[in-house]
Amino acid sequence: MLKLSKLATAVALVVAGSAAVAGEVEVLHYWTSGGEAKSVAELKKIMQGKGHTWKDFAVAGGGGDNAATVLKSRVVSGNPPAAAQIKGPAIQEWASEGVLANLDATAKAEKWDDLLPKVVADVMKYKGNYVAAPVNVHRVNWMWANSAVLKKAGVTATPKTWDEFFAAAEKVKKAGLIPVAHGGQNWQDFTTFESVALGVGGTKFYNEALIKLDQKALTSPTMIKVLETFRKVKGYTDAAAPGRDWNLATAMVIQEKAAFQFMGDWAKGEFSAAGKVPGKDYICAAAPGTGNAYTFNVDSFAMFKLKDSGAQKAQADLAASIMGTEFQEVFNLNKGSIPVRLNMSMDKFDDCAKTSAKDFVSTAKSGGLVPSVAHGMAIKPAAEGAIKDAVSQFWNDDKISVADGVKNIAKAAATK
Ligand code: GAL
């Protein structure tokens, strides 16, 4: 009897021990569309499988502006979530406030420095310490097209230049369908704008004008051509676009109401969730003129300093899970992005993802890899917000001349 009770005690201790280190993680994110929600549910499943409690803190509103506002109020009131979807230069701003947890123990144990491209690892660190875990690599300079709509309109080849695009858009319009599905938030306007800037001006112009915010580039003849092209795209959207959520614009392409959408490959998550197959139901192609370039958008979760040891353990497990091979595969298959962890097998991914993975590597070597301004990868949030507003004012008000649009955007870019 004594032996049995010793065994029972040992088992009880082990169970108690594991229960003690299980904790709750409250995670703030803005992944609320069909494809996004399916993706984040995979992280929840993995964390629950490790015995932790997942508290979902989802804030609707694609692009993350609403989530950023809610996060600020939570941190200011001294009640931050365990983790929040924060990326790019905003990571440095949050870290400089002294509120982010140091993830070096996990990063060292999991060998993150060997598993990440340096350009990504550097964004996740503040003064050399990891403070955020990267989730994926989204490509932003995509053009999505519905194959049946192009056929109906007599468009026989995917447009590679802006002249070819406008010729195709004209055919779709004549066929009585909406050429460009677009939603009316400033981050969506800027997503289209940056692809036009990249396609018309090339990566050198993109880096000078939109990353360095060089006034000469921002007021150059190239910038005039960019705004002329950008306005011409606007002419092929529908009157109900203002205020539309991005995933409802994607749904218009999925449901054969519209031909094209300029959007990052989180849109592919919507096609996948709708059971659509690339190459058959729809086409993924580089936005016109951007075939040799890649605007990257890396989602990441920054972790906040917490007092409770169980919550800290859960945070460490969350960070390790995010960079783990299981999550990196299943999340990105649903999200439309590609794994950020190097040397992952792409066997289960579709041709769009395989093209993205190949181009990510080749553009990193060629200089065609550029950060997405629209998605918070490139410049300080204050300047990004000011430029986005100036671009959206130009997009929304046809009475603003191209010359005034150039002036307004250059002025906004000078915001300190
Ligand atoms: C981006 C984010 C993507 C996607 C998109 C639409 O900023 O990085 O993961 O969610 O917004 O909400």
3-state SS string for 254-298:
HCCCEEEEECCCHHHHHHHHCCCCECCCEEEEECCCCCCCEEEEC
Mutate to test the pocket of ligand 1, among 120, 265, 297, 322 (most ligand atoms within 8 A of CB): 297
Would you say the CB of residue 195 lies under 6 angstroms from ligand 1?
A: no
CATH 3.40.50.300 is held by the domain 2-136+298-351? no
CA distance 282 to 256: 10
At residue 179, the 3 state secondary structure works out as strand
Q: In this structure, what are the phi and psi dihedrals at residue 340, rounded to the nearest 5 degrees?
A: -90, -20
The CATH number assigned to the domain with range 142-295+355-413 reads 3.40.190.10
Q: Measured from the CA of 136, which atom of ligand 1 is nearest?
A: 9
DSSP 3-state percent helix, strand, coil across the chain (nearest 5): 55, 15, 30
Determine the distance separating the centroid of ligand 1 and the alpha carbon of 415, expressed in angstroms.
25
Atom of ligand 1 nearest to the CA of 36: 10
**Sites in the chain below the pLDDT cut of 50:** 1-2, 4, 14-20
375 ligand 1 Cβ < 6 A: yes
CA-299 nearest atom, ligand 1 = 8
Residue to mutate, 191, 375, 388, ligand 1, most ligand atoms under 8 Å from C-beta: 375
**What's residue 396's pLDDT?**
97
User: Is this structure's pTM higher than 0.75?
Assistant: yes
Tell me whether domains 2-136+298-351 and 142-295+355-413 share a fold.
yes
Amino acid residing at 16: A
Atom 6 (ligand 1): residue with closest C-alpha?
A: 62
The DSSP 8-state label assigned to residue 23 in this structure reads -
Nearest CA to ligand 1 atom 10: 31
Q: How far is the CA of 39 from the centre of ligand 1 (A)?
A: 12
Q: Please give the full DSSP string across 66-96, using - where no structure is assigned.
A: HHHHHHHHHHHTT---SEEE--THHHHHHHH
The best mutation among 30, 87, 188, 262 to test binding of ligand 1, ranked by most ligand atoms within 8 Å of the C-beta, falls on 30
337 lines ligand 1 (CB under 6 A): no
pLDDT in tens, 129-148: 999 999 999 999 999 999 99
Residue matched to tokens 């096609």: 271
Query: How confident is the model at residue 17, as a pLDDT?
Result: 46
CA–centroid distance, residue 148 to ligand 1 (Å)? 27
Its sign, for the CA torsion 237, 240, 246, 247, is: negative
* Domain positions in the chain: 2-136+298-351, 142-295+355-413
For the Cβ of 31 lying below 6 angstroms from any atom of ligand 1, the answer is yes
